[in-house]
């Protein structure tokens, strides 16, 4: 069972496209600003930056918000 889990994780790691996630994040931010939800965006960025800086269950480094963009820690 653990081998199957590792295989699935490796398969998903290959499929991850950081540019796609960055584009989606930027689109969401733009929508929030245009719809007067800047306060929500600010609170979300504060929450993300307060999260522990460690690897997630996929073995990838966690990312936090800094200067309005996701950056590796």
pLDDT at 60: 58
The closest of 63, 59, 22 to 72, measured between CA atoms, is: 63
Report domain extents, the chain: 2-72
In this structure, how many other beta carbons lie within 10 angstroms of the beta carbon of residue 64? 17
Alpha-carbon gap, residue 60 to 16, rounded angstroms: 11
pLDDT given for residue 53 in this prediction: 66
Q: What is the pLDDT along the chain (73 residues), one digit of tens a residue?
A: 588 888 887 777 777 777 888 888 888 888 888 888 888 888 888 887 887 766 555 555 555 555 545 554 4
pLDDT, one tens digit per residue, over 10-28 is 777 777 777 888 888 888 8
């Amino acid at each position: 069972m653990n081998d199957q889990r590792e295989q699935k994780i490796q398969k998903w790691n290959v499929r991850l496209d950081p540019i796609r996630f960055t584009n989606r994040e930027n689109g969401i931010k733009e929508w929030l600003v245009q719809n007067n939800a800047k306060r929500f965006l600010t609170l979300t960025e504060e929450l993300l930056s307060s999260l522990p800086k460690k690897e997630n269950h996929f073995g990838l480094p966690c990312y936090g918000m800094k200067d309005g963009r996701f950056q590796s820690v």
